[in-house]
């Protein structure tokens, strides 16, 4: 959500000589953070209407993140954006995602 606002804001300033658009790696990372925020929001709400919204938000953020991950892989972007517990080996090292 925040990433879309940033992209829209940068889109307006790009044509006026402002900042350039963030790279795909940064957009993917922001989408991951939005997804994690949505999951935390789901875990914290108690009202039934807000639970429905939290489910919708979580699914939307997850789909956006997965889409951007596919785009990054297709473009060959290599960046350690996310780490899961399954990616931590027995030796305690962390593998890069991508």
Q: For the chain, what are the domain ranges?
A: 21-98
Torsion of CA 56, 62, 63, 67, to 10 degrees: 160
Angle between helices 24-44 and 2-15 (to 10 degrees): 150
**Sign of the alpha-carbon torsion through 54, 32, 4, 64:** negative
> In the prediction, which pLDDT does 95 show?
40
Q: What are the average pLDDT values for consecutive 10-residue runs of the chain, which has 98 residues?
A: 63 55 85 94 93 95 93 79 44 39
Q: Which residues contact 14 (CB under 8 A, 6 or more apart)?
A: 20, 21
Q: Is the pTM of this model over 0.85?
A: no
How is residue 80 written in tokens? Answer: 């350690």
pLDDT of the residue at 90: 39
Task: Tell me how far apart the 2 most distant CA atoms of the chain are, in Å.
Answer: 51
Amino acid 89: pLDDT? 39
């Amino acid at each position: 959500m925040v990433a879309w606002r940033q992209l829209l804001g940068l889109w307006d300033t790009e044509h006026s000589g402002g900042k350039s658009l963030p790279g795909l790696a940064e957009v993917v990372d922001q989408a991951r953070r939005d997804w994690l925020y949505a999951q935390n929001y789901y875990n914290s709400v108690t009202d039934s209407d807000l639970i429905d919204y939290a489910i919708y938000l979580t699914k939307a953020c997850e789909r956006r993140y997965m889409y951007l991950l596919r785009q990054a892989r297709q473009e060959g972007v290599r960046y350690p954006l996310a780490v899961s517990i399954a990616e931590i080996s027995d030796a305690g090292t962390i593998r890069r995602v991508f």
